[in-house]
């Protein structure tokens, strides 16, 4: 497959590295950062020259190289801000694997944008999917697949804790790490924290077939000695009878333990914990590993529920 990367920031660069490990031809990249224009994608990604250029727009890329089969999009979290980028890729006729968190389950926050992308993707016969580590894997796909081994399932609780000191700088920035509590209050409207609690919970509900009666999400900053050190948040889903069936939690902060824990309550309880899947590498990996599967998912917006097909038979 011939792949281009749209958004060559820290995640886009890791994706390039992952693609090189898989012998994929990276035909070019698009990034609005003018300092990157004309540079070699491999050089910028830290793997040495691969004779593939960075262009300031998709149009420029397409006038220099043949249409890529797939474009990996890693340029933003909010679908209303990246919808035009995604539509441009779709109209060019390429499949899209994006790390845009709100595209992982787009109908919750952005139903109108989702409808526009879905219509265009069906018309152009391409697949569009939003995925990554989270939403995309640890708090949704992984517990859903694990639930296949549940004898009787009552509730799923997925918890992720991570040391933000080991993550990319952009991640720490969006949590406000390093600001004083007062600075944080001033800038709070511009700091996203983690994006995707609700998307993970809704994806998980969709994967298992749990009807959603109520969904709630929230997050708050963590602080120590007047300084912001991270964020902690959750989403929870109740079924139609008001019983909590899904809870996902994520805390990211300086010095927090790296740990993922999934508990499937029921008979018998299943509990699985890890030493903490590294989010940046896992995001690049999930996106790279999904590429050969994209065409078989069918045209339109697809989610990880179309990829992870096994799970508990909720009735």
Ligand X SMILES: NC(=O)c1ccc[n+]([C@@H]2O[C@H](COP(=O)([O-])OP(=O)(O)OC[C@H]3O[C@@H](n4cnc5c(N)ncnc54)[C@H](OP(=O)(O)O)[C@@H]3O)[C@@H](O)[C@H]2O)c1
List binders of ligand X among 96-135 (CB under 6 A): 99, 101, 132-135
Q: List the beta bridge partners of residue 30.
A: 6, 55
Distance, in Å, from the CA atom of 192 to the CA atom of 2, rounded to the nearest integer, reads 33
Nearer to ligand X, 11 or 207 (CB): 11
Nearer to ligand X, 130 or 312 (CB): 130
Nearer to ligand X, 85 or 161 (CB): 85
Which range binds ligand X by CB under 6 A, 27-35, 39-47, 204-212, 262-270?
27-35
- Closest distance to ligand X from the beta carbon of 167 (Å): 9
The two beta strands, 2-6 and 25-30, are parallel
Which range binds ligand X by CB under 6 A, 4-12, 219-227, 229-237, 262-270?
4-12
Residue 260 as a binder of ligand X (CB under 6 A): the answer is no
Give the number of residues in contact with ligand X, rule: CB under 6 A: 26
Any idea what DSSP says for residue 151?
Answer: S
Interface residue with ligand X, options 127, 251, 283, 303 (CB under 6 A):
283
Element (H, E) at 131: none
Interface residue with ligand X, options 21, 22, 32, 59 (CB under 6 A):
32
In the complex, residue closest to ligand X by CB: 9
CB 143 within 8 A of CB 158: yes
- Closest distance to ligand X from the beta carbon of 36 (Å): 7
Residue 9 as a binder of ligand X (CB under 6 A): the answer is yes
Residue 31 as a binder of ligand X (CB under 6 A): the answer is yes
> Of 151, 235, 221, 215, which is closest to residue 179 (Cα–Cα)?
221
CB 6 within 8 A of CB 88: no
Nearer to ligand X, 31 or 249 (CB): 31
- Closest distance to ligand X from the beta carbon of 279 (Å): 6
Nearer to ligand X, 85 or 150 (CB): 85
Q: How many CB atoms lie within 10 A of CB 149?
A: 13
Does residue 220 come out as left (phi exceeding 0), alpha (psi in the -120 to 50 range) or beta? beta
What DSSP string describes 248-272? Answer: EEEEEETT---EEEEEEEEES-EEE
Cβ-in-10-Å burial (0-12, 13-18, 19+) of 278 comes to middle
Interface residue with ligand X, options 3, 4, 5, 7 (CB under 6 A):
7
List binders of ligand X among 34-93 (CB under 6 A): 74-77, 85
> Of 13, 4, 24, which is closest to residue 85 (Cα–Cα)?
4
- Closest distance to ligand X from the beta carbon of 154 (Å): 28
Q: What does the binding site for ligand X look like in residue numbers (CB under 6 A)?
A: 7-12, 30-33, 74-77, 85, 99, 101, 132-136, 168, 170, 279, 283
């Amino acid at each position: 497959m011939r792949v281009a990367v749209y958004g060559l920031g820290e995640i886009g660069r890791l994706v390039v590295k992952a693609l090189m490990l898989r012998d994929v031809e990276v035909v070019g990249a698009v990034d609005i950062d003018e300092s990157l224009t004309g540079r070699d994608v491999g050089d910028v990604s830290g793997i040495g020259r691969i004779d593939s250029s960075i262009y300031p727009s998709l149009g420029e890329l397409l006038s220099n190289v043949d249409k890529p089969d797939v474009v990996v999009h890693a340029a933003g979290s909010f679908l209303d801000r990246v919808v035009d980028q995604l539509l441009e890729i779709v109209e060019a006729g390429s499949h899209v694997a994006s790390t845009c968190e709100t595209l992982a389950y787009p109908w919750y926050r952005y139903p109108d944008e989702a409808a526009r992308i879905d219509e265009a993707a069906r018309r152009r016969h391409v697949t569009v999917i939003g995925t990554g580590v989270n939403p995309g894997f640890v708090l949704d796909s992984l517990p859903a697949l694990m639930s296949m081994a549940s004898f009787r399932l009552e509730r799923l609780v997925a918890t992720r804790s991570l040391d933000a000191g080991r993550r990319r700088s952009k991640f720490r920035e969006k949590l406000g790490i390093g600001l004083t509590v007062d600075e944080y209050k001033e800038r709070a409207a511009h700091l996203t924290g983690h994006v995707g609690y609700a998307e993970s919970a809704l994806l998980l509900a969709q994967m298992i077939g749990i009807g959603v009666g109520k969904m709630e999400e929230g997050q708050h900053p963590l602080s120590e000695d007047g300084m912001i050190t991270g964020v902690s948040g959750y989403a929870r889903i109740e079924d139609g009878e008001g019983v909590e069936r899904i809870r996902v939690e994520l805390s990211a902060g300086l010095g927090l333990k790296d740990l993922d824990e999934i508990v499937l309550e029921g008979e018998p309880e299943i509990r699985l914990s890890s030493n903490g899947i590294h989010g940046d590498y896992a995001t690049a990996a999930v996106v790279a590993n999904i590429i050969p599967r994209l065409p078989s998912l069918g045209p339109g917006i697809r989610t990880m529920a179309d990829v992870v097909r096994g799970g508990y038979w909720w009735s």
